[in-house]
Amino acid sequence: MAAAFRILSLLLTVMLTAAMVSNPQAVDDTRAGVVTRIQSSAIAIQDAAPRVLAVGSSIFINDIVSTGADARVDIRMIDDTVITLSARTQFVVMQYQFDGDQGDALLRLITGTFRAVTGKIAKLEGRPFKVVTNVATIGVRGTEFWVGAFKNVPHVELIGGGGVTVENAGGRVEVTRPGWGTFIKDANTKPTKPEFWPKTMNDMVKESMAFK
């Protein structure tokens, strides 16, 4: 009963989220990735049709993926990018195409926490791998990075690799040092100057992504 109630709650939450997503796109059955590991409950929804996720479930372009309390989900994308979603996260695969020497990835984090270890798309010229949040757009090049919140304030950390650019209406910063990050007060305030994150913050990052 408890598991069924959690899944029902997720369905209701994601249906409401789907209604609020701006500029909804047409339904798409183009496969963008596959679930490789899952803890607790998560669903994907498209065209008001929810699917309960399990290992081996496909993730399609325009899917809204929503995770429950204590959930973790690993998704391997078609270019070998690995995305990990934490608990109570809502995440949209807006675009994801890759054909060997060309690619385009656009993801949207509505709420929650995620980490990405980027694959082949992020190594292409022109930074065709981007993540949109409510307060900023993150451009990525061949890297591992984390996006989440401390005390309800969005933060971005570069864990390793080439770097990330964080940009909004207030300005732009580039994080190029592993272990460094920035936070974004709101959509109209420039992201803070990158700084080194202490062990306490990194421990919180690791905990947010840890499977139990």
All domains of the chain in start order, with CATH: 69-209 (2.60.120.1440)
Residue 40 has pLDDT above 70, yes or no: yes
* pLDDT given at position 117: 97
The pTM of the full predicted model, rounded to 2 decimals, is: 0.86
For the chain, the average pLDDT equals 89
Residue 23 has pLDDT above 90, yes or no: no
203 versus 3: the higher-pLDDT residue is: 203
Residue 171 · residue 165 · CB < 8 Å: no
Residue 166 has pLDDT above 60, yes or no: yes
Q: Stretch 131-158: mean pLDDT, rounded?
A: 95
* pLDDT given at position 129: 95
